Each structure stands twice: as C-alpha cells, then as structure tokens.
Structure 1
Amino acid sequence: MASYPRLNDIFITERLKERLSEIGNHPITTVIAPMGFGKTTAVNWWAKRLAKSRGEAVVLRQMIVTDSVTDFWSGFCRAFKGYPQLLEEMKALGYPKDVPATALLSELLHETLSASSSPLYFIMDDLHLLEKNTVTALLLLLSRNLPDCVHLILLSRNQIFSEEERMRLGHLLCEIGADDLRLNARELKAYADRCGLAASPEELDTLVLQSEGWISMIYLNFKSYAQNGHWLSSSSDIFDLIHQVLLVPLESRQREFLILIGMTDEFTAGQAAYLWQHGDAQSLLDSLTKNNAFITRSEQGIYRYHHMLRHCVRLMFAEKPEGYRQESYSRLGKWHLKEQEYIAAYFAFAAAYDWVGLLATLTEDNAKSLNSEHSRAFVEWSENCPKEILLQNPAAIVVFMLKLFSFHCISEIKQMKKLLLVSLEQNTSLTEEERNNILGDAEVAESLLAYNDISAMSVYHRRACLLLRRSTVSVDSKGTWTFSSPSIFMSYHRRVSYADSESAEMKECMPYYYQVSNGHGNGAEHSFAADLFYERGEVTDADISNRMARSAARRKNQYSVLMCCEFLDLRMAIFQGNYDRVKQKSHELREWLYKERQYALLNTLDMCLGFLYSLLGFPEYAPKWFAEGKLSEALIMFPATPMLHTFYNQLLLAQEEWTEVIARQEECKALYGIYHNVLCEIRLHIQLSAALEQLGRRKEALDELKLALDSALPDGIVMPFAESGAYLLELLKELKGRELYTEEIEKICSLSEQFHASREQIRREHFGENESYGLSERELIIARLAAQRKTNREIAEELHLAEGTVRNQLSRIFDKLGLAGDGKNKRILLENLLKNKKQ
C-alpha cells in the first residue's frame, strides 16, 4: 500500500485565504456552514498564520461543547485567564442575563482591553450548540462597544443574527459561508496533488459532484482511497462513512480507547489515562491524533473529537453493556470531582446512577455551583436517589433542603427534613457533635420556610444556636441577606399595627441568627428601625439608627444591608433638599459596588434611583431598563420583587400612565400577598388613589386613600403619603373635612409641604439651564454639544480639537455625571439631563 504522508495536512484554498484575510478589518466575523465544512480548521489555520505574521496579536479561544449557559459563561471567563483581574470581575458578575449586567460586562471588557495597543481576536466556536438567541444580544452589544482593537470571530452551523440584525451591523460584520469553504473542481485537484493521490481527472470530477465540495466527504474519500484504493459510495450516510473509514480499520484496542474517551466533550492526556486505566493511553492517543484529522489538540493540551466522530463513537458506546457504561461514567465523575469541576461531576455521576458519588459532590460543593439552569435535574436527583442511600448521607440531605428552597420546592423541603431525622436516628457512626451540627444546619435551612416572619424564623435559629458548634454551612455569609431588597422594613413589616413589636423582635432575634451565621445580615435590626422612624417622619431618629446599622454592617462586610442604609440616606437627602448629596452618593455607590464586585446589587441601586427620580418628577432619568419596564429581565431575587413593582408603579405615576397603574393592581396584590408586604400594599392603595383622582374618579380615589390610611396610621406610617402629596393633597383635605384622621392628616400635610419645598428647590437649582453639574466650562460646552446629538468629529471640528480629545473628555463627563450604559444610552441620558426642566 502506498504511503500518503500529507493526507492529514490542512488544505486551505487561495480563495478562502483571501476571505480569511478580511477578518482584521471588521469588529465581528461569522463563519457559518453545515457540519464538516472545515470552519474550525480554517480559522485555526488563519490564527496560526496571524501569530507568525503579527507576533503581538492576542488570540483567545472558546470552544462551546454543551448547551449549558453556565458552561458557556465558565468557558468565556476562562478565555480571559491572561487578564486575572478581569477574570475575577467577570466571575463575580456571573452570566449577564439583563441589559444592565450586559452593559457592565461591556464596560469591564472595554476598560481592560482598551489599554492594549495590540489587536485581540476572540474565537468562539460551535455557537449552534446554545439555544437560539441565548447569547445573541450579548454578542451584538459587545461587537458595537468593544475597543477597535478587539475582533470577534463566531463559528456556527446556523445563522447567528437575524436579517434585521445583520443589516444593522452593516460594514461591522464580515460573513464567511459554506460557498467560501467548499472546494471547486480545480481546488479539489490541487488538494489531491498535494496528498499525492494518483486519481484520474474523471474520478475527481465525479468526487466533486458527489461531495458538492464538502471537505469532510472529500477527506473520507481520500482516506479510503489511501487505505484500500477505493472511493466511497455517494449514497452512504456520512456517519456510516466515518465508521467505515475511521473506525473499522483500527486495531481493536485503538477502537475501544476511541469509544471510551468519546463520552467526554473534551479531555486532556491525563484524563484519558485516568479513564483508560492502562499504561498505553498516551501512545494510543498520539497514534490516533497523528493519523486522524477528526481529532485535534489545542495549544493548551485539550483534545477534542470532531462532532461527527464523537456522534459515531457515542452510538457505539451506547451499545456497550450497561455495567461497563455505568462504571465508565462513574470514573469520569470521580475525575471531575477530583479536579473540582463540580457541574461535570454531577452529571457524570447521574449518568452512571452513582448516587454515592453524586451525594459526595453535593456535600463538597454545597450545591453552590448549581443554579436555576440545573433546577429540573436537581429536583430529579432528589426524587430518584434511593432513600437507603440518602439515609446514609445526612449532610447531603441538608444541602438538598437548602437548594430546594432556592428552586421554590417547598413541600420537598419538609419531606427531606423527615428523611433527615430518620437518617440521624439510624446513623450510629456520627459523633454527638457531628449529629448536632447537621441538625443545626437543617434548622437554619428550614427557617427559610418561615421567611419574613421574624419570630417564626427565630425559633429555628435559636434551636440552631443550641446545636451548632461552628458556623452553619446553610448560609453563605458573603451572600445578600436582603435577597437584593432595598429596604429591610419593606421586606419584614407584615402585620398592620405590629411595626413596633416587629422592630423589637428584630432586636431580640437577630443576635441568634448572627451567632450561627457569622454575622450574616449584621445591622439588620438597626436598619429596620431606621426605616420605621423615617416612614413616621422622624428624620433625626432615622438618621441615628441608620448610622448604627451602617456601622454594624461594615464590621461584617454586609453589602446588602449597607445598600439599604444608603437608600434611606438618599431618601433623607431629597427630603432635606440636598441634591448634591444625592448626585455624589449615587455615583459613589455605583463605583463602590463595582469595586467590591457586588454586581447583584447594581439592579437594586437602579430600582432605588428610578424610584427617587420618580418622586422628583423626572422619570426619564431612571435607568433605562427600569424606565422601559423590563422588570422580568432584572436580576432581582424573588423576595425583592414586591419592592421592584412598587417602585415601578411610582415611575408610572410620574410618567402619567394612570390607566397602567390601575391595570396592574391585581398582579401587584397577588405578589404583595405572598409574604404579606404591608408597606407595598399601602403604597399600592396610594398609587391607585392618585391614578383614579387623575382620571376624575374621586369616590374610588377616596376609598383607596382611606384603605391606605387604615393600614398605615396604626403604625404611624405617614411618609409614603407625604412623598406622593402632589397627587393626594385635595383628597387628604376632603377626608380631613369629614373628620377622618384629622391629626394624622395634618402631620402628613406638614411633611408634604416640606417635601414639596425640597423637591422644587432641587428642580429649580439642579435641573435648570444654569446648572454646571460639577463640570468645567470646557466640559460643559462639550456636554451641551453632545446633547445636541453632534458626533465626536463634529464637536472636534467646531471646537478645533482632536477627535480623540473629545472622546476622552466625554468619557470623563459621563464618569462625573454617573451616567452608565453603552455610548448611545449615555448620550441619551446626557441629553435628558441637560434639558431645561422648569416646571
């Protein structure tokens, strides 16, 4: 048999080389073609040539191997391991599921990458594996907002962008398709000559027609011809061809190795040796890689099968005896667990029905790696795991309890608690301290079932204090104790006329929780009291308690409690007419959250600012996602959603969307009733009263206002009425004339007058034409020109400046003004800010 040493060489046509050379001219390139057209091979070839011709160029790669968004984000972050600070910031951010988080990711990337003068190319392969549109918005935003030196190269079997999106991208987008990748007759002959195949022109013409220029089909035919001198049948399925050409000719040991390792998505030589468990793993891998173009090895030592080869070997793996398959998956799970690759370990053990391994992973990971994407699988594991195995793993049962609450599986938690008690009764190997620690963890986990019932939760916490000899593992002391709520009082005030007793409960009960959780939520009781004082119009006492809460929260780095303190401080600043403090603190808060990587609280800050600007009468200054009502896209934890909707209703009032407020009442009532959020219910009645009054439905407006007063005044709550006084003043006077709540309404009117005076002072001094906004004279000139929608070039020409100088000046202006988002959104916010708002 003749030798064909160049058969596995990469062959790139001159036509394709020319297309690939265009990549550097565009921010984004898509390479789209069906399976087996050589997309990855072509781009890898181009990247290697780039490294030789431009040594300073940086090439990052991400190979997508599953349909998991979690896996996608892990791979995306890993690609930036050469930028350690950026890597940690992106890990803390998590996959950006909403517009603010996506904009923040863009800013993080821009800040890091714009400092480089070298071009950077990010290759993202096999995007088709992700569910359609999963990352489209992310990719579009990045393509428009990353520095000029950054280029995205996206490989997929399917179209990534819609026709409209492609049109909008315009010249920013370079598209390489199947026609660029397929071989014509002349190119196929050149390929055959390079491989040294003595094929006749007639044979090659037939192959062109049969393969339609499909490189995988051509390669398999060349391989077959080299092995036995025969071409393949055009009627055969491609997977049959792979089986015939790549698998059948192998020695049995090589084939078995190939089949076994094919159960992984990607692997290292060490992992292959661990799975194979024989000394010849490396030699087998070297031989197979050398002689098979369908197995590749990256520069980082990661091996991957081509999808078509992997599909074939997995079909063969599925035909193996069940015991062999389970043993193999179990071994794979042990590898991933050893490497602390917990997600992969979970699913490998689940495929093996290795419940002991899965529970070991659950206990070691404490389920921290699992998120909503894995909820269905997690619940199935909890249901399918044999009870006798669960009973032998009481610590894992506690982890199940905790995570089931995150996935809103309440009844399952109670079942798990019963199982835990049986487990501890049967397990005689645990020491008394170990037993008590597990019971203590379970008490803390079970307390979540009584969320926002302070005393009921504390019963669990007190029992946990008696049991635990360490901090509980059921709580992450660095997590958000408030579930991203902006107000502890709004979250925990659940019974009319019980606000004082709830505050007392907080002060009595929280120390027990702090003891078991190492200070998680520290300062919550003072924050509750501060909010209550403010809602009663007692601003001085509110300030004192708020300072106490801030001090306690800082001692334990409880950022979510600090966020509540800062929100109250902003409300008090507006009440006192101190808008300079509002501007300064708003900017500092955002910078602080960025610095501390508390990205989960950025949406909390946004909703707070949206609420405050609504009170001031400038809803257009609210963060874009909030102003547009994209509430479902906000990364707000479920217990905080009542506050989100309450604040959004206030924005709708400021937008004069009276009918929309009324239309939302049933949805809001149902939401507020889940945890009995009394203050949200009070504000809803106020908002409905305001909307009805504006629509001329006075009687209904009075009825709603009276309901609000009935729920608020037993606890002395008056500030929500004062903050909405502009809508309610005439209604309040009418109720007072009926001798209803006379003294209380007088207090409300007095507070309302003070709030109105402060509001008008702010509007007059800070939203007029003469406001400098803390900008220099030159910065103010540039800002006003930008607000007139002039481009950087037009501004530069008008002021006789370099375009780069204008761009840098605008960046400083946006920073000073605390305007976040992408370039376009910042300009819109700037335009709104500089409008003359004399009202």
Structure 2
Amino acid sequence: MAIAKRYNTKSLYFSERITEAMGRIFDHPLTIVEAPMGYGKTTAVREHLISTGAHVLWQKVNDSSTNSNWYGFGRLFSKLDDNRSQSLIQLGFPNDSVSRQEAFNIIVDIKLPVQTVLVIDDYHLMDSSDINSFIEFLVRNEIDNLHIVLIARFTELQNIDELMLKGYLNHITKETFELRSKEVIKYYRLCGISLKDTEADKLYSFTEGWISALYLLMLNYIEDGNFTTLINIYSLVEKAVYTPFSEEIKDFLLTLCILDSFTLEQASHMWQKENAGKLLTEITNKNAFVKYDRKTKTYQMHNIFTNFLKDMLESKNVRTEIERRAAQWYLKTGDYFAAMHYFYKCKDFDQLLFSLEQNKANGLNNENKKELFLKYFEECPEEVKGTHHFALLIFAMAFISYKEPVMFSKACSEFNLNLQRDESLNDDFRKRLLGEYELLLSFTGYNDINKMSEHHRKASKLLSEPTSFIDLKANWTYGAPSVLHMFYRECGKLEEHVLDLIKNLPYYYQITNGHGYGAEYIMEAERYFNMGDVINAEIVIHKALYKAQVNKQTGIVLCALFLQIRLAFFKGDYSHMLELFRVMYESISDVSQRNFIYTINICEGFVYSLLYRRDKIPSWIEIGDFNNSRLLFPTVPMLNIVYGRVLLINGEYLKLIGSAEHFIGIVSVFPNLLGKIYTYIYLAAANKQVFREYEARSALRQALSIAMPDKVYVPFVENCDYIKPLLEKLYEDGNYREDISIILELFKTYQKSVEQMIKENFSVEENPRLTSREKEIVQLAVDGHTNKEIGERLYISPNTVKTQLKSIFVKLGVNSRVLLKRYLETLSE
C-alpha cells in the first residue's frame, strides 16, 4: 500500500447514490433520511443543501419533549416572520384537527423563500404518533416552496408506502449510505490513503460500509500504520479520538457530554474557566466528532462520541457536580423545567423546589408533566418540603389539574403541618401563605359559587396583594362561551345563582387582580336571554362586555360576543352575526390567545347547527373528535350541547339516543343543569323521529321539569323544529300550559328569523362551474397525485397545476385538498 505524504481526514465523500438521492429533495414535499447512527446522514443533507443555495430551516431534536420541540419548531420561522413564529409557539403543539389546521394556516401565511427546506435532525427522538400525523398533514397539503427533510435512525410513519406511491415521499435508507468496496477506495484516496482492492474488500466486510467506523479505522491506520479489527467501537473511539487529547481537553469534554448541543456561553458556564472557546476551537479543528453550527452558534457532539464520553463519566466522581452546573445554567436562563430535571438528577431537591417556585404554576395543565410532578413530590425529603411552602401549594394545584385527589390531600396535609412547625415565619408571611391556601381550596368547591366564595372571603382578609402562585392569564371559563352553563346547578335557583355570583365574585377579583371580570353580568344577561327577555339581555351584556374589555379578559369577552350573536340570531340579522364572529377572531389575534379558537369553534358549531349548515360546522365538532381537543373537562357539557344538535340535524337519531346517558353522566359531575336540559330535549326529538312517542314525551317532561321553575325557555325554542308537536301534545294534556304558550310564541319570531337568514344567505344556487380541464385537475388531486404527476399526465408544468388549483380553491371556497375532496363527496350525496 502506498501512503500519501499528506492526509486530509476531514474530507467529505459522497457516493453517486447519495448525490442522486439528495437531488430528489426538491421533487417531493417530504424526504426521510433513515439510517443508524454514524452513517453520515446529517452531513450529507447539510452539504447538499449548501451546494444548492436553498434556504434552510434546521431543527436539532435533543429529547422527546413535544413542548420544547414545538418551541424550537416555531422559532425556526422567526427571521422570516416573527409574529407568526410567535403564533406557532403560543398555539402549542397541534394535537387535534383544529389546532393542526390553525398551525397549517399560520405556516402558509409565512412568505417562504423559493426552495425552502425544513430539516428536523434526529427526528426519531420525538417518538410521537401525533407528531407523525402532523408532519403527514403538512406533506399531504403541500405548502408552496416548502420541502421537509426528516433525518432519523428510524421512523414509524404508518403510511410510508402510501406516501411513496402517491409521490409525496423521497425515502433514503441505510443502503444508500453504505460505502461499497470501490467507494471505500475513493473515500480513502480523497483523504490521502491509497488502498488495494483486497484491503478495501476487507474493510467493507468488517464495517459493512459504515462510514464512521471507516473514519475511525483510518485514524488508527494513520497513527499505527495498520488496520485494527477491534470489535468494540468504543475502544477505537478512545484510541483514535479521545486519548490524543490533552488531559485538560478530556476533562472539558466530560463536563459537556451530558448536553447534546451547547453554546460557547453554556460551555464556559459548565467548564467554569475562561479558555472554553480556545479548547473548542482546538477540538473542532482536530476531528469530525464535534461540529460547530455557525447559523445557530451551537456545538454538537456526534452520538458515538457522546455515548463514549458518558460511559467514561460513569467511572469518575464528577457527574453530580456536572449535572448541578447544568441545572444552574437552566435556572439562570429561565428554563425552569430543565433546571428541575437536572437538580433531580443530582438529587438537589432544595434547588428543585426553588426552581418550581420561580416557575410558579405556569404549565401545570400539561398532562405530560404529571409523572414528573408525582415523582418530584414523592421523592423529595420531608425536611426539604418543610422549607418550601409555596412549592407545596404549586404541587397541590398541579394535583387538582391532574385529578389526583389523594396526592392533593397529601400535599395539603404536609403544607399545614409544615406551617405549624416552621417557627421562622413572621406573621405577615404566614398570613400570606394561609391566604394563598384558601384560594387553592376554593377550586375544590367548583361550581358552587357560595362554597368557593367562603374561601375567597377568607383569602381576601389574609392577602394584602394579589395571588402570586396561580396563572391569572388562564381562561376563567375553561374555554366555554357561557357562564350560565358553568354555574347553573340547582333547579329553581337560577336567579339566586346570578345574585350569588354578583355578590361573591368581587372577593375573587380582589385576590386575583380582576381575573374573569364581568362574568357575573354575563350570567345575568344569559338568564334574561333564556327567559326570552332580549331587551334586558342586551342591556346587561353591554355592561359585561365593557368590564371584560377594560380588564382584558378575553374569555369573558368571547362569552359576551356569543350572547350578542344569539341576540342577532333572534332578530334574523345574519350580517351582524358575521361581524361579531369577525370581532371574535380579532380578539384572539394576540399570540397568547390562540387556544381560544376552540371556544369560537363551539360558537360556530352552535349557530350553524341551528341553521342546518353542516358545511360550516367545524369538522372536529361534526365528527365528535373531542379526545384531542384542548378544552378542559368543565367545558365538555357545553360541547355536548352543540354536538347533540349536530347529531340531530345529521339524522343520527339512534346514535344520539345511545349517547344521551353519557351526556347526562358528564353534566351530573358538578352538575350543569343547562346541559341536562338540552340533552333531554335532544332525547325527546330523536325518539320522536324514530316513532318512540312515549319515550319522546317522557324525555321532554324531564326537560320541562328542570327548566320551567327558572323559565329557561330558549333551549326549547331553538329545537321547536323537532319538538313542536310534542309540546303541543303536552299542552293539550294540560302540562305546563302557560310556559309552553310562551315557548311557542317565541318560536314564531325565532322561526321567521331562521327562514329569513336561510333565504337571504343560503338559498340553493347552481354549483360553481368548473372547466373540463379544472375537473381533470380536481379528480387527479383528490386521488392523491402530486402537482408534478398531474402536470405529467396533462402535459402542463407543475407551476401551472399549482396556479390552477389555487383558482379552483377560490372558486369552490376551499383551501386544501382535504376540503376539496370533502366538497366532491358532498356533491355526490
């Protein structure tokens, strides 16, 4: 073997197979680069994209945290459109159809440069079927100028074969990256080493074309003049990479190996010496196992090297100190959950609880953190919890969110015991803690405002300033557009409930700085409305809206707007309703308000179900896809009110009858009488439709028995299109004659409004006409063909296809291939 005089071990070699495969990135919405560790996936993608001049958005995945990864995903777009980048972050990971569509709309609105490539590196670490679904959703809807590349050791996308068949996916596998004997020769020659065929064959047999092993063997050859056949690759890493470093650099690397990536500032903090930058320069110049990303200004270690260093770290007594430094870094930078993670690793529970207190109660409604909070609480020594009173309150609040009553009770017991034992507390601080505790206890009395207020009153006497451990930006209504639905809990006491709310809520406002301000007047206006008193309802709702807007209570504002929409509905003023919906969407334009889209969807579903407009009902509501929605349990009764009406207009009577018991179970938890009234009305309507007269009348009597003591008429008015004959029959039989007369009289006005709105805004028109060419494009598109494939079949360019599809979308009033397919299905029904 002839050895060149100079070596260039950092030379990059890409086979023709790799180059060709990478060249197909721009022909597909999605490319998956899938191969085990050390096959050069990341390097190949990075170098190819650099050579094309593409605009690259690169995300490096470090763990399986959906929240942190979504934050990183959102930040990718910050330089292109900071507002929409923040909107993505505030939206949170889209784990249901509504938020998925919202995320898609935000991304579509970003002006992406031509040939933009979104790369997600180490995608396998996410390990989430929801993320897979979201990626597939983006891919199938083909965002202009955007190509997605997933780099992973393995992927679990269920529809890979289908995506490939329909032309969405360019799948690059391990076989593409394996260097065959001839390619090994070319690679080594590029690095300054000439190989014989037999030597190349031997290397290929040993490494199976794994370029990382070939690289390590090359370093060993340069050092010793021969090729080793070590089975343990870590021994080779130690010999070829680690041992040549100075002792100082070895120690430096060990302090950083627990981090998958790091900045110079972070490295300096971990090293605690001033020469971190100098050492990193030396390291990156000497080998390919530590890379510097100039764009993100971060350093990244190769997985093989990181794992080797972690193994080395286990044999030393410095791991705890290193983890403590990492925890302190994250505490300093405000990443409190990461700080808690590392403080837990080094068993520093005092600082863990300090980090928890700094974070307050933010992010506690994330179910993914449940196991962590349970673990932190259970394993934390009692003497440590004894000095962190606020932390115990936060734990208790978390356990309420996670529906862990036993753990909640345990946290409260420890809190009270610790207060008794802690002699260091002065009187003022002790009063403050007791005030916060009373506020915490009030949540155990939901939705009995008098029970809740007993704690609010006690808290107001103890607290000299607003609460400091509860997130006051949270939605007071839990996402529902009705206060009456929340607090109407006892038959015959609706007016009393309203007065109780008016009397008691000021105590809550005092200790929460106006959280939910105006809610009592929303409920008062809703009571008037449900009695058919639209004049008083309109007067009071303006009062409520003013109070909510002044105090920036978006959830309460949406409740007020929803009632105004219902008032406009009774007047038949459809244009005003549309204007109010526009105001609704404007009110959640702030990035922190994105989750209110579910509230607006509930309002839309309610209104359009009354107008029989199935096409305008949000799809997730129409199909009953509630499992992944972000609405909390107290909102479910309101959601079922809408869903029940949707089942009714869809003619799913048997499903509605079968679901009624479940609906009643949900509304009985707190209880929520409004949901119960609607459910019995729907049950009566559905039974009537399937000729079960006895069951229908029985269900309607139950609804009337609950609602009439409080003169709650509107639910019956809204559904008179189904239950009018039943009401008339009950009237003839002498049941609720005065109340039924009022209901039927209100229905006359209501019915005229509905007929007017339908006639003026939804009269049947001829379907939009498509040209023969447009029809061909539509059919190919819904069959799953890409723009390129459609162009090839119709002998037009992909750009022409894209332009034609946009025109078709506008003509048909849709904005995606999914909706286009649904439109065609509607025509065929």
Amino acid at match of 2:433: I
Aligned residue in 1 for 2:320: 326
Does residue 359 (structure 1) correspond to residue 353 (structure 2)? The answer is yes
Q: Distance in 2 between matches of 1:338 and 1:167?
A: 45
Aligned residue in 1 for 2:720: 725
Does residue 347 (structure 1) correspond to residue 341 (structure 2)? The answer is yes
Amino acid at match of 1:28: L
Does residue 139 (structure 1) correspond to residue 135 (structure 2)? The answer is yes
Does residue 102 (structure 1) correspond to residue 91 (structure 2)? The answer is no
Aligned residue in 2 for 1:500: 495
Aligned residue in 1 for 2:464: 469
Q: Distance in 2 between matches of 1:663 and 1:581?
A: 37
Q: Distance in 2 between matches of 1:2 and 1:363?
A: 62
The Cα offsets for residues 293-325 of structure 1, whole Å up to 9 and x where unpaired, read as: 22212113211222222222222323334xx33
Aligned residue in 2 for 1:633: 628
Check conservation: 2:4, 2:194, Cα contact below 8 A: no
Amino acid at match of 1:29: T
Amino acid at match of 2:59: Q
**Pick from 495, 502, 509: which aligns with 2:504?**
509
Q: Distance in 1 between matches of 2:481 and 2:38?
A: 52
Aligned residue in 2 for 1:668: 663
Q: Which moved more, 1:692-701 or 1:25-34?
A: 25-34
Q: Distance in 2 between matches of 1:785 and 1:588?
A: 39
Task: Note the C-alpha offset of 1:806.
Answer: 6.8
Task: Note the C-alpha offset of 1:569.
Answer: 1.8
Aligned residue in 1 for 2:64: 67
Aligned residue in 2 for 1:30: 32
Q: Distance in 1 between matches of 2:163 and 2:811?
A: 32
Aligned residue in 2 for 1:336: 330
Matched residue SS, 1:62 = strand
Aligned residue in 2 for 1:173: 169
TM-score by length of 1: 0.90
Q: Distance in 2 between matches of 1:22 and 1:164?
A: 17
Aligned residue in 1 for 2:304: 308
Q: Distance in 1 between matches of 2:771 and 2:85?
A: 33
The Cα offsets for residues 753-800 of structure 1, whole Å up to 9 and x where unpaired, read as: 32222222222222213699xxxxxxx878999899958999xx9xxx
Aligned residue in 1 for 2:182: 186
Check conservation: 1:610, 1:626, Cα contact below 8 A: yes
Q: Distance in 2 between matches of 1:537 and 1:788?
A: 53
CA RMSD in angstroms comes to 3.1
Amino acid at match of 1:570: I
Matched residue SS, 1:293 = coil
Matched residue SS, 1:471 = coil
Task: Note the C-alpha offset of 1:446.
Answer: 2.1
Aligned residue in 2 for 1:686: 681
Task: Note the C-alpha offset of 1:279.
Answer: 4.6
Task: Note the C-alpha offset of 1:136.
Answer: 1.6
Check conservation: 1:70, 1:95, Cα contact below 8 A: yes
Task: Note the C-alpha offset of 1:507.
Answer: 0.3
Aligned residue in 1 for 2:15: 13
**Pick from 634, 642, 648: which aligns with 2:637?**
642
TM-score by length of 2: 0.91
Aligned residue in 1 for 2:784: none
Check conservation: 1:33, 1:178, Cα contact below 8 A: yes
Aligned residue in 1 for 2:816: 823
Check conservation: 1:345, 1:358, Cα contact below 8 A: yes
Q: Distance in 2 between matches of 1:753 and 1:122?
A: 57
Q: Distance in 2 between matches of 1:167 and 1:790?
A: 19
The Cα offsets for residues 676-697 of structure 1, whole Å up to 9 and x where unpaired, read as: 0111111111111111121221
**Pick from 696, 701, 706: which aligns with 1:706?**
701
Q: Distance in 2 between matches of 1:786 and 1:570?
A: 38
The Cα offsets for residues 80-124 of structure 1, whole Å up to 9 and x where unpaired, read as: 23132122211221111111111111111111225x4x4322111
Inter-CA distance 830–578: structure 2 relative to 1 (3 Å threshold) = farther
Check conservation: 1:211, 1:217, Cα contact below 8 A: yes
Task: Note the C-alpha offset of 1:198.
Answer: 4.7
Inter-CA distance 271–3: structure 2 relative to 1 (3 Å threshold) = farther
Amino acid at match of 2:73: F
Inter-CA distance 767–429: structure 2 relative to 1 (3 Å threshold) = same
**Pick from 198, 202, 210: which aligns with 1:202?**
198
**Which residues of structure 2 form unaligned runs of 5+?**
782-786
Q: Which moved more, 1:735-744 or 1:781-790?
A: 781-790
The alignment covers a number of residue pairs equal to: 810
Q: Distance in 2 between matches of 1:129 and 1:462?
A: 49
Superposition pairs for residues 231-630 of structure 1, below 5 Å?
231-233=227-229, 236-299=231-294, 300-321=296-317, 324-370=318-364, 371-594=366-589, 597-630=592-625
Q: Which moved more, 1:24-33 or 1:643-652?
A: 24-33
Matched residue SS, 1:135 = helix
Amino acid at match of 2:67: T
Aligned residue in 2 for 1:776: none
Superposition pairs for residues 698-777 of structure 1, below 5 Å?
698-769=693-764
**Which residues of structure 1 form unaligned runs of 5+?**
773-779
Check conservation: 2:362, 2:471, Cα contact below 8 A: no
Q: Distance in 2 between matches of 1:346 and 1:454?
A: 36
Amino acid at match of 2:12: I
Check conservation: 1:32, 1:155, Cα contact below 8 A: yes
The Cα offsets for residues 539-559 of structure 1, whole Å up to 9 and x where unpaired, read as: 111111211111111011111
Inter-CA distance 62–68: structure 2 relative to 1 (3 Å threshold) = same
Check conservation: 1:110, 1:146, Cα contact below 8 A: no
Task: Note the C-alpha offset of 1:712.
Answer: 0.9
Matched residue SS, 1:497 = coil
Check conservation: 2:87, 2:594, Cα contact below 8 A: no
Inter-CA distance 136–755: structure 2 relative to 1 (3 Å threshold) = same
Matched residue SS, 2:709 = helix
Q: Distance in 2 between matches of 1:266 and 1:34?
A: 20
Inter-CA distance 708–74: structure 2 relative to 1 (3 Å threshold) = same
Check conservation: 1:64, 1:124, Cα contact below 8 A: yes
Check conservation: 1:355, 1:385, Cα contact below 8 A: yes
Q: Distance in 2 between matches of 1:363 and 1:765?
A: 58
Q: Which moved more, 1:337-346 or 1:517-526?
A: 337-346
Segments of 4+ moved more than 6 angstroms: 780-789, 791-794, 802-814, 828-833
Q: Distance in 2 between matches of 1:784 and 1:702?
A: 54
Inter-CA distance 700–769: structure 2 relative to 1 (3 Å threshold) = closer
Amino acid at match of 2:337: I
Q: Distance in 1 between matches of 2:701 and 2:283?
A: 80
Q: Distance in 2 between matches of 1:552 and 1:18?
A: 64
Superposition pairs for residues 791-830 of structure 1, below 5 Å?
822-827=815-820
Q: Which moved more, 1:157-166 or 1:215-224?
A: 157-166
Check conservation: 1:522, 1:558, Cα contact below 8 A: yes
The Cα offsets for residues 190-222 of structure 1, whole Å up to 9 and x where unpaired, read as: 111122225443222210122121111211211
Amino acid at match of 1:290: N
Amino acid at match of 1:264: L
Amino acid at match of 1:286: T
Inter-CA distance 204–790: structure 2 relative to 1 (3 Å threshold) = closer
Check conservation: 2:641, 2:679, Cα contact below 8 A: yes
The Cα offsets for residues 246-298 of structure 1, whole Å up to 9 and x where unpaired, read as: 33554444333323311112212222232233454444333333223222121
Inter-CA distance 787–682: structure 2 relative to 1 (3 Å threshold) = farther
Q: Which moved more, 1:576-585 or 1:259-268?
A: 576-585
What is the aligned-residue identity percentage? 28
Q: Distance in 2 between matches of 1:781 and 1:584?
A: 29
Q: Distance in 2 between matches of 1:2 and 1:385?
A: 61
Q: Distance in 1 between matches of 2:716 and 2:455?
A: 37
